[in-house]
Structure 1
Amino acid sequence: MIVHELIGTETLFAEQLKEGYYVIREKFNKLDVQLHHIDTIQEIDCGTEEIVTVVFDPGTDYSLICLDQYTFETKAPSLSELQQTLKMKHRDLFQ
């Protein structure tokens, strides 16, 4: 069973986005957890994974709307590459 353990969260481009929009990068450590006996498990490190999520907050409780999600298992893009991608796919996101 692959387990994702959150090891870092960062909000990107906060000052450049329109009100209510957020771009969040989360970094996860991936572990393969295997049960060997009733009282023994083995954890195998499977590297890291970055997920960038674009969300909109309409302002009501517990109502974040996920607009898009990007997953990077190998080399994550630079901030400028990510910003270009987001500007192409979400023109209305930036001020």
Structure 2
Amino acid sequence: MIVHELMDMEHLFAEQLQEGYYIIRETYQNVLIEPKGGDAVRQVDAGTEEVVTLLFDPGDEYSLLCLDTYTFTGGIPSLTELKETIAAEYDVFVNRHRAASL
């Protein structure tokens, strides 16, 4: 059995996102739990897992929508690579040229 323990949470690209969108990164420590006989168990470190979640808040109370989740077991990519991955599927980043012309 693999147990996922939340280790860290932070907002990525907070100032670059359009209003209502949030990107949250969570780091989980994975632990393999094995019975060792009797009431004892053995815990083995199974590495970490990075999970990036894209959320949208339409402004209604209790109405966060999960748009997508990205899981990385070999470490998280650079912020530039992550931004390119999300931007390929979702138009959630503020375009500086468009924002400057408004």
| Superposed pair shares fold, TM > 0.5 | yes
The 1-side partners of 2:35 and 2:60 are apart by 42
Contact 2:50/2:75 (CA < 8 Å) preserved in 1? no
Higher alpha-carbon Rg: 2
Where does structure 2 lack aligned partners over 5 or more consecutive residues? 95-102
The 1-side partners of 2:83 and 2:13 are apart by 8
SS in 2 for 1:50: strand
Deviation at 1:38, TM superposition (A): 4.0
Please name the residue that 2:93 is paired with. Answer: 94
Query: Alpha-carbon deviations, 1:51-91, whole Å to 9, x = none?
Result: 00000012233321110111100032100111111111112
Matching residue's letter, 2:93: F
- Are residue 16 (structure 1) and residue 19 (structure 2) matched? no
Sequence identity (%): 51
Where does structure 1 lack aligned partners over 5 or more consecutive residues? none
Deviation at 1:35, TM superposition (A): 2.3
CA RMSD across the alignment = 1.2
SS in 2 for 1:58: coil
Which 10-residue stretch deviates more, 7-16 or 82-91? 82-91
SS in 2 for 1:10: strand
Contact 2:49/2:75 (CA < 8 Å) preserved in 1? no
Q: How many pairs does the alignment contain?
A: 94
Residues 34-73 of structure 1 aligned to structure 2 (within 5 Å): 34-73=34-73
* Bigger fraction of residues in strand: 1
Deviation at 1:18, TM superposition (A): 0.9
